[in-house]
Amino acid sequence: MKYDYDAMVIGGGAAGLTTAGIAANFGAKTVMIERERLGGDCTWTGCVPSKTLIKAASVIHHMREGEKYGLRMDAAKTDTAGVMKHVDNVRREIYEDADRPEIFEEMGIEVVFGSAAFTDDHTVQITDENGVITTLSARYIFICTGARAFVPPIPGLDGVKYLTNESLFEIDNLPGKLIVVGGGPIGSEMSQSFQRLGTEVHLVDMAPGILINDDREMSDILKMKMEQEGVTFHLNAAVKRVEQMGDSISVYFEADGKAESISAESVLLATGRKANIDALNLDAAGVTYDSSGITVNDACRTNKSHIYAVGDVTGRYQFTHMCEHMAKVAASNALIKVPMKIDKKHVPWVTYTDPEIGQIGATEKELKDKGVTYETYRFPFSKIDRAVTDGVPEGLIKVHAKKWSGRILGASVAGAHAGEMISQYALAMRNGVSLREFADTIHPYPSYGLGARRAADQWYIKNQSESLVKWIKRIFRYRGEIPDYSNPDRIV
């Protein structure tokens, strides 16, 4: 009873909203502190607006491709101002439906707006927009302040009107030409979408490819598609400086030892994320942190046993779904003493380009680097009937598993609805479902999910020996031809 609250949640983004909701559900007297507006990065500058823009770009792209479906449409004009207004409307709709303070107040959660800073390990001072300071204390504290766009120290950047994901969705009209610095998920998604909406896009990255944390074969499938749509790539390129020249911005870089430059109306920096810890005064609480974020163990606990950190602020995972998972882990450990750990082995992620790229578990490179023995089972989207009828036969499924047991070690999908398909493999891996059990599970036809099952079927195919078939043929006196088992790439 010596503290004002049982649980204090600092931050009202995906991590904070989930943590506060769980805490209140456990019967804890809960306060949630938010500096700006509830919903955080996901609702306002991340998942929601970016996926809404991707959808708009997809619609106009399919209109231009109408003839391959036997349709003729006029997609010559794009109301870019209307597109950005639509993006804003969708995020406000989601805020009203799921993130408004009143929703959480009805759960019994007190919502306080202002910037929080620790004064000791149980107490924070909250300064509101008018400078009014409130001091609150709590038995357990959950730091859920998220992350923001990382702006690299590029010479000349201080004099340039650049964009990040935090300002991108506030513009009224799309630029005629855009330079995207960074080939990760945000850079790839926005590059393709802007190109489809009529912007000339150049993507610059110091890596030899895009999406370097994904399977290289899968990311190359996406890169080829983006090149076909008009995106220009400048890879192995180190940005040296930028310069504002009137309404134009020039980016100077070195690629393969050669100095080059591009000029455009706008520059989007998609160069990673930085944890929001600067204003928290963590030293006053004695909480350990480093340049990547707040240090936590697998229970999401900091070096202070009653202080937990959840989501992007830890620097460990930059996914909304991991914010929710970590919130459950932290709240369960702190408030009801149920021991839970972060499930590090089964973290899926998806880049929502066209084709989508999904990943779960180990990549082929990781397995080779660790010396793990495995088999890879491949299945092309061109053999998934639903993909063919939808006109999207480009793509590939790769599943890595143990040869005899069929235990899944990792999976990669490049293709339509890869995000939904990778979820099946995540469920299978989390619950120990082997490829044999996966293959024996009935899936509806025609569906993309059936494609995931047919990839699992290849485990049966590869483990079926020629000698066994000869033995069966002899026993039952069958007269057919034996398949060519010498071809390792045979797909059935």
Q: How far apart are the first and last CA of the chain?
A: 66
Percent of the chain clearing pLDDT 90 (strictly above):
87
Does the annotation place 408 within a ligand binding site? no
Q: Give the pLDDT band of residue 65 (cuts 50, 70, 90).
A: confident
Does a cis peptide bond (omega within 30 degrees of 0) precede residue 153? no
Report the alpha-carbon distance of residue 139 to residue 3 in Å, rounded: 6
Question: Is the pLDDT at 79 greater than 90, yes or no?
Answer: no
Q: Is 185 annotated as a binding residue?
A: yes
Neighbour count for residue 54 (Cβ, 10 Å): 19
* Secondary structure E strands in 82-155: 110-113, 115-120, 123-127, 133-143, 147-149
Q: Averaged over 268-283, what is the pLDDT?
A: 97
> Could you tell me the pLDDT band of residue 469, with boundaries at 50, 70 and 90?
confident
Residue ranges covered by each domain of the chain:
5-149+274-344, 157-272, 355-476
Q: Which of 143, 141, 137, 111 is nearest to 124 (CA)?
A: 137
> What is the mean predicted confidence (pLDDT) over 3-23?
97
* Cα-trace Rg, the chain: 25
Q: Where are the alpha helices (DSSP H) in 229-349?
A: 282-285, 320-335
The model's pLDDT over 241-256, given as tens digits with 9 standing for 90+, comes to 999 998 999 999 999 8
Q: How far apart are CA 7 and CA 335, in angstroms?
A: 8
Please give the pLDDT value at position 75: 63
**Residue 272 marked in a binding site:** yes
Task: Answer yes or no: is 184 a known binding residue.
Answer: yes
Q: Is 286 annotated as a binding residue?
A: no
Percent of the chain's residues with pLDDT above 70: 99
Q: Tokens 């455009």, residue? A: 264
Sheet with 237-245: list strands edge to edge: 237-245, 248-255, 258-264
Tokens of 406: 């069929």
Question: How confident is the model over 430-435, as a mean pLDDT?
Answer: 96
Which residues, in sequence order, are bridge partners of residue 408?
A: 401
Closest CA to 450 of 379, 360, 384, 377: 384
Q: How many residues does the chain have?
A: 492
Q: Does domain 355-476 have CATH number 2.60.120.620?
A: no
For the cut 70, the answer to whether the pLDDT of residue 76 exceeds it is no
Q: Are residues 409 and 400 in contact, defined by beta-carbon separation less than 8 angstroms?
A: yes
Q: Annotation-wise, does 191 bind a ligand? A: no
Domain spanning 5-149+274-344: which superfamily? FAD/NAD(P)-binding domain (3.50.50.60)
**Predicted local confidence at residue 479, as pLDDT:** 87
Q: What are phi and psi of 188, to 5 degrees?
A: -70, -45
Please identify which residue in the block is written with the tokens 């070195």.
Answer: 254
Q: Does residue 442 register a pLDDT over 80?
A: yes
Mean of all residue pLDDT scores within the chain:
94
Taken in order 368, 369, 373, 379, the sign of the CA dihedral is negative
157-272 carries CATH number 3.50.50.60: yes
Dihedral in degrees, nearest 10, Cα atoms 177, 180, 181, 184: -170
Does 188 carry a binding-site annotation? yes
Compute the distance between CA of residue 318 and CA of residue 271 in angstroms, rounded to an integer: 13
Over residues 320-364, the pLDDT tens digits come to 999 999 999 999 999 999 999 999 999 999 999 999 999 999 999
Burial bucket for residue 131 (CB in 10 Å: 0-12, 13-18, 19+): exposed
Check: CB of residue 334 under 8 Å from CB of residue 142.
Answer: yes
Burial class (CB in 10 A: 0-12, 13-18, 19+), 26: middle
Average pLDDT value for residue range 233-238: 97
- Which pLDDT value is given to residue 490? 77
The pLDDT assigned to 461 comes to 86
Is 348 flagged in the annotation as binding? Answer: no
Return the axis-axis angle of helices 418-430 and 448-462, rounded to nearest 10°: 50
| 170 in a known ligand binding site | no
CA distance linking residue 143 with residue 311, whole number of Å: 9
73: pLDDT strictly greater than 80:
no
CB 329 within 8 A of CB 314: no
Angle at 376 between CA 370 and CA 377, to 5 degrees: 160
pLDDT in tens, 396-421: 999 999 999 999 999 999 999 999 99
- What value does the mean pLDDT take over residues 214-219? 95
Same topology, domains 157-272 and 355-476? Answer is no
